[in-house]
Amino acid sequence: MARPTARDSRGTRPARPGYVEREHTAAPGRWAWLAFAFTVIVVVVVFGWRYLGDGGLTEILGPGDPVPGGVLRFGMGDPAGLDPRLAQDPESRQAVQLLFDGLTALDPVTGEVVPAVATSWSSEESATVFRFALSADARFHDGTPVTAVDFKYAWERLVDPKVTKGVGPLSYMLEIVEGYEELTAGKATELSGLRVIDDVTFEVRLRESYADLPYLVAHPALSPVPRDRVRKDPAAFAKRPVGNGPFKLDSPWRKGVGAKLTRFDAYHGRPAYLDGVQLVAFDDDGAAWRALQTEKIDFASVPVSADAEALEALGKSENGYTAAPGKRFLFGAECGTYYIACNLKDPLIAKAEVRRALSLAIDRAAIGAEVYGGTRRAADGIVAPGAEGYREGAWPYSRFDVAAAKKALAKAGYPNGNGMPEVRLAYNSGSENEAVAKATRTQWAAIGIRTRLEAAEFSEHLDRADQGDFQLVRLGLRPDRPTHDAFLTTLFAGSSGDNVSGYSVEEVDAALATARATADAEERLSIYRGVDKKVASDLPVIPMLFYGHHHGVSRRVANLTLGSSGFAALEKTWLLKGGK
């Protein structure tokens, strides 16, 4: 695949499925989701929660029976747009997933891929050809049927340089589809790998094996759009999109104000309990938190400085993701990892025992508590909670063990740090990143390691990382799908552009390729876990913290669930009696 890179709101460039995010991200508000080191986001992400009847999605109910009606007031930042092809920033993704359904969705509780518009799918043994069977009941908000033609058109629109005015920020998501290079180069007018078998059968042919495709297509950017309507007036669609999700847009988004969504009664799944959702725009999370305190809104990001206050006032959610009476502070880990990449071309850092000493000497829990108020959990591996098959304690060298760190340092030839050159830790400017870097320096000093900190502005920091101009560099990964592949291939495949450590192991590359071509989910996960075990021993990166969220929910809301990627699922949410 093409080189995966990333920018935040200060600029974008193409990336692979699994973006490297290199600054703090914490909530579905622009103020709280600082900087993506690519584009997308993505995801976790909850890409959507769709009702499937018996045997469908995991459901955690609030007290009593669901109460239909009422409008939920949802605080968030201004999105870049509501058109699926612009669903790059967290605000856009949150809104788009309410307005649109893709082929698949991700269960917000388990993170597992489940049907959405596609009722089922199958693939050839090589995992290069997939067929999706679409629901005949799926409709756009204007009443027209959702067909395979609309998916094909939407995907090509995401990639077509005539539409995106160059390389689109999310076009990378389809680079594994046959015909991608020809379309992006202007040598073709369609993606040759997309085939409309009939109105309800959509076929996707890939350039290489990729068994996790059903996870990828859950991203809201790959939702269908009504082809004829968009062709007729693309500007009107961009301003007021017509989707196929559980809610429809009442009026265009007003910057600094928001937009009103109403329930779509002809939704192909069970219609939402809510009459609608009022998306309320805020400039910062402090303002949103104050609005929640005064009961002007029902959902808000809580600033780190107010976490203690929110915990006392709202009560902590039992699982960190679902609101319940007296437990309305959603405080949990998200599917993303803050880490330090090690330059394996540097003579000192190339020593495995040095890397192990550095990792073992870090008290991650203390850093998470001191810098982030406990909203970031100590990372015990590179694969984060919320990813399919996540295991606690997967990386043994991610534990805090000063005695073991000193032993590893002595084994490397530097007892108590004697004779060891100073190490350099690069990070992008920002109070939180600086605090993490200083805390890490202090902890390394405790075993005799001297550290020079090197701060740089975001763009310069990324450039240095890309060029290999570092010894140790702070980065982060928030993948756009919650899978092992999203972490392991992105960071450790020898051909990956986000593998800034220079880690290249033939055994690992071969296993990753095998896993991608393995259709059986359990067998595929077993292969990925083998790769994870190998990488954990080699330690080309040092996991630091798992990203986290901290949101407040009003007392009138029941059954609001936040997925492990930080997006709220509202289709099964209702307002308690008397709470309208």
Q: What is the CATH number of the domain that holds 133?
A: 3.90.76.10
Q: What is the CA radius of gyration of the chain?
A: 23
State how far the Cα of 231 lies from the Cα of 237, in Å rounded to an integer. Answer: 9
Total count of domains within the chain: 2
Least confident of 57-71, 429-443, 473-487: 57-71
Mean pLDDT of the chain: 88
**Same domain, residue pair 227 and 181:** yes
**Same domain, residue pair 489 and 451:** yes
pTM equals: 0.85
**Same domain, residue pair 142 and 252:** yes
pLDDT value at 117 more than 80: yes
Question: Residues 532-563: pLDDT tens digits?
Answer: 999 999 999 999 999 999 999 999 999 999 98
Specify if 308 maps to a domain: no
pLDDT value at 281 more than 90: yes
pLDDT (mean) for 195-199: 99
**Same domain, residue pair 522 and 560:** no
pLDDT (mean) for 488-507: 97
Would you say 490 and 528 are in contact if contact means Cβ atoms under 8 Å apart?
no
**Same domain, residue pair 198 and 346:** no
Residue-range definition of the domain harbouring residue 486 = 337-371+402-543
Specify if 480 maps to a domain: yes
State how far the Cα of 7 lies from the Cα of 301, in Å rounded to an integer. Answer: 23
Would you say 417 and 344 are in contact if contact means Cβ atoms under 8 Å apart?
no
Is the peptide bond between 277 and the residue preceding it cis, with omega within 30 degrees of 0? no
Specify if 470 maps to a domain: yes
Specify if 317 maps to a domain: no
Looking at per-residue confidence, does 57 or 575 come out higher?
Answer: 575
Specify if 312 maps to a domain: no
Report the 3 state secondary structure along 294-363.
CCCCCEEECCHHHHHHHHHHHCECCCCCECECCECEEEEEEEEEEEEEECCCCCCCCCHHHHHHHHHCCC
Q: Report the pLDDT value the prediction gives residue 75, as an integer from 0 to 100.
A: 98
Specify if 62 maps to a domain: yes
pLDDT value at 307 more than 80: yes
**Same domain, residue pair 463 and 565:** no
State how far the Cα of 116 lies from the Cα of 391, in Å rounded to an integer. Answer: 27
Q: Report the pLDDT value the prediction gives residue 63, as an integer from 0 to 100.
A: 52
**Percentage of the chain lying above the pLDDT 90 cut:** 79
Question: Residues 412-433: pLDDT tens digits?
Answer: 999 999 999 999 999 999 889 9
Say which CATH number the domain at 342 has.
3.10.105.10
For residue 181, the SS3 value is helix
Half-sphere exposure of 372 (CA within 13 A, CB side): 27
User: Closest Cα to residue 278, out of 293, 303, 299, 295?
Assistant: 299
**Same domain, residue pair 538 and 562:** no
Q: Report the pLDDT value the prediction gives residue 563, as an integer from 0 to 100.
A: 86
Would you say 481 and 18 are in contact if contact means Cβ atoms under 8 Å apart?
yes
Specify if 396 maps to a domain: no
**Same domain, residue pair 147 and 216:** yes
Specify if 16 maps to a domain: no
User: Residues of 304-327 as b/e, b for ≥16 C-beta within 10 angstroms?
Assistant: bebbeebbeebebbeebbbbbeeb
Least confident of 140-144, 352-356, 456-460: 456-460
Report residue 111's pLDDT band, with 50, 70 and 90 as the boundaries.
Answer: confident
Report residue 578's pLDDT band, with 50, 70 and 90 as the boundaries.
Answer: low
pLDDT (mean) for 199-228: 98
Q: If you count them, how many residues does the chain have?
A: 580
Q: Report the pLDDT value the prediction gives residue 557, as an integer from 0 to 100.
A: 96
Looking at per-residue confidence, does 17 or 324 come out higher?
Answer: 324
Helices (H) and strands (E) in the chain, counts: 17, 22
**Same domain, residue pair 61 and 144:** yes
pLDDT value at 36 more than 80: no
User: Residues of 515-542 as b/e, b for ≥16 C-beta within 10 angstroms?
Assistant: bbbbeeeeebbebbbebbeebbebbbbb
Report residue 529's pLDDT band, with 50, 70 and 90 as the boundaries.
Answer: very high
**Same domain, residue pair 486 and 570:** no
User: Closest Cα to residue 438, out of 366, 343, 539, 352?
Assistant: 366
Question: Residues 310-355: pLDDT tens digits?
Answer: 999 999 999 999 999 999 999 888 899 999 999 999 999 999 999 9
Q: What is the DSSP string of 452-466?
A: EEEEE-HHHHHHHHH
pLDDT (mean) for 376-381: 96
pLDDT (mean) for 2-25: 32
Q: Report the pLDDT value the prediction gives residue 337, as an integer from 0 to 100.
A: 98
**Same domain, residue pair 349 and 206:** no
**Percentage of the chain lying above the pLDDT 70 cut:** 88
**Same domain, residue pair 242 and 366:** no
